[in-house]
Structure 1
Amino acid sequence: MAISGEERHAPAGGDSGGGKLWNLCRMPFRQAGGAPAAPPPQSSSSSSGIHHSAGRYGHEAPVAGDGGAQGASAGSISSVAKSLLPARRRLRLDPANKLYFPYEPGKQVKSAIRIKNTSKSHVAFKFQTTAPKSCFMRPPGAVLAPGETIIATVFKFVEHPENNENVLQKCKVKFKILSLKVKGPMEYAPELFDEQKDQAVVEKILKVVFLDINGQSPQLEKLNNQLAEAEAALEARKKPPEENGPKIVGEGLVIDEWKERRERYLAQQQVEVVDSV
């Protein structure tokens, strides 16, 4: 920094020298490049601080908003993923994927399937078929308690094959079993599935497989055993429950122990009266 001659020879204690020295102290410092760096005004500095603060807080608000949007997006993705996952099964079927029928053209044949409620609540099930005119189920539906098992019987009329078609390997008839969670024990009604259509779950779609009755196969043997169990269970349901109350003989004549004792007592009294006479 160059100093003029007047400033160099000026007296140190003079007023004018003191003023010029004060002016020198107030001169701006030079940067390395030689240009003076003027300090920013106070108002600019404070304004810059305000803008920085506003920018920082203004940036934090969108971050929170983005997080909420990301959370909502994640929730929607999880809901879609849950919808794509297979529904939890409430029933266990045996056979699991097929209905086996003995092949007897021109006759009505039977198949059987064991259905067990494996859930912890009461479950209603319902049969559906692609051939309602030639097939029917017994029962067509029911309400099962937790752990309860039933053997359903399926009837089908077997038509004669056309053009020597191999019916033992080809059959387009299918059956569908639907399940529905219910609140508790109740009588089955088809309207249950109409009222709660969105809550019904497709348990299985069963294909029809015909078995040669002249051959021996594990499927045919198992089918015959299940049909025998189904018939025994049906007969047990038809049998009236045993009555533990008073016996009824003839048309409304009630006989019980008290009445028998009373009749014996009256008969004894009559004998004593006759003997006394």
Structure 2
Amino acid sequence: MSAANEKSLSEGKAWSICRMPSTAAISFLPSRRRLGLDPANKLYFPYEPGKQVKSAIRIKNVSKSHVAFKFQTTAPKSCYMRPPGGILAPAESLIATVFKFVEHPENNEKVVVQNCKVKFKIMSLKVNGEMDYVPELFDEQKDQVAVEQILRVVFLDTERPSPALEKLNRQLAEAEAELEAHRKHPEDSGPRVVGEGLVIDEWKERRERYLARQQVDGVDSV
């Protein structure tokens, strides 16, 4: 899948998982990771059919430059991320929360679906120092965008305690604490991220600001 064919969540589109990664796609992965992820390649969700559940993942900039990151998913209508993107300084990190609606199983069978088809992708882009995050950064510099990881969804049985479930609950609590700290002290917010709310609404607002700024810059340069 080429970067040119990818559609952002701001357009309400999903990226396809119908095709297996080609040699070209594999070479698109960065030779040296810009981001460290925990969990590394999965998103764990509590299995609660008919409810919106949450997962969490810590994202850390392990490079020596500022790095922008962005989420994409194969199921934008049932999933959204907080934040869907942002910019991290070297060694800076945050815990992103991922929300997903869990469908009821067929025939109302109580099963924990381990082979969920929904997947998420985290992309990265090296940027020049501190700046405001806008998703258009990834469109403007497509040749510099790297796919950091494709994350598959794994459901956890909430009635069976496990290390993965305990870790998920701990990370979710940390994510809420970080969000609360950001609300109280927005001027010391650290990572430059998109705010709260639905992803599509946030990105529309950011896009409007971005286009308005571009128009002003164009007028000033005349």
Whether 1:235 and 2:180 are equivalent positions in the alignment is: yes
1:173-212 to 2 correspondences below 5 Å: 173-212=118-157
TM normalised by structure 2 equals: 0.69
Correspondence for 1:122 among 62, 66, 73: 66
Give the drift of 1:166.
4.2
User: Whose helix proportion is higher, 1 or 2?
Assistant: 1
Q: Hey, what does 2:36 align to over in structure 1?
A: 92
CA distance in 1, matches of 2:166, 2:67: 30
Give the drift of 1:169.
1.5
Opposite residue 147 of structure 2, the aligned amino acid is V
Give the drift of 1:103.
0.4
Opposite residue 53 of structure 2, the aligned amino acid is V
Write out per-residue CA displacement over residues 167-194 of structure 1, whole angstroms, 9 at most, x where no aligned residue. 4212000000000000011111000001
Write out per-residue CA displacement over residues 98-141 of structure 1, whole angstroms, 9 at most, x where no aligned residue. 00000000000000000000000000000000000000000000
Partner secondary structure for residue 184 of structure 1:
coil
Contact 1:168 1:212 in 2 (8 A): no
User: Whose strand proportion is higher, 1 or 2?
Assistant: 2
CA distance in 2, matches of 1:192, 1:113: 23
5+ residue gaps, structure 1: 1-79, 243-277
1:30-109 to 2 correspondences below 5 Å: 87-109=31-53
CA distance in 2, matches of 1:136, 1:130: 11
Contact 2:29 2:146 in 1 (8 A): no
Contact 2:86 2:133 in 1 (8 A): yes
Q: Hey, what does 1:162 align to over in structure 2?
A: 106
Opposite residue 174 of structure 1, the aligned amino acid is K
Give the drift of 1:241.
6.7
Q: Hey, what does 2:91 align to over in structure 1?
A: 147
Give the drift of 1:85.
8.2
Give the drift of 1:198.
1.1
State which structure, 1 or 2, has the greater radius of gyration over its C-alpha atoms. 1
RMSD: 1.9
Percent sequence identity is 78
Write out per-residue CA displacement over residues 185-217 of structure 1, whole angstroms, 9 at most, x where no aligned residue. 111100000101111000000000000000010
Partner secondary structure for residue 106 of structure 2:
coil
Opposite residue 139 of structure 2, the aligned amino acid is D
Correspondence for 1:223 among 168, 171, 181: 168
Contact 2:49 2:103 in 1 (8 A): yes
Whether 1:112 and 2:56 are equivalent positions in the alignment is: yes
- Return closer, same or farther for 1:240/1:97 CA change in 2, 3 Å cut-off: closer
5+ residue gaps, structure 2: 1-23, 188-222
CA distance in 1, matches of 2:67, 2:43: 22
Opposite residue 78 of structure 2, the aligned amino acid is S
Question: Structure 1 segments of 4 or more deviating over 3 A?
Answer: 83-86, 163-167
Contact 1:153 1:227 in 2 (8 A): yes
CA distance in 1, matches of 2:30, 2:183: 39
Contact 1:161 1:167 in 2 (8 A): no
- Return closer, same or farther for 1:200/1:169 CA change in 2, 3 Å cut-off: same
* Aligned length, in residue pairs: 161
Higher relative contact order (CA 8 A, sep 6+): 2
Contact 2:30 2:146 in 1 (8 A): no
- Return closer, same or farther for 1:87/1:106 CA change in 2, 3 Å cut-off: same
CA distance in 1, matches of 2:186, 2:116: 42
Q: Hey, what does 2:75 align to over in structure 1?
A: 131
- Return closer, same or farther for 1:179/1:84 CA change in 2, 3 Å cut-off: closer
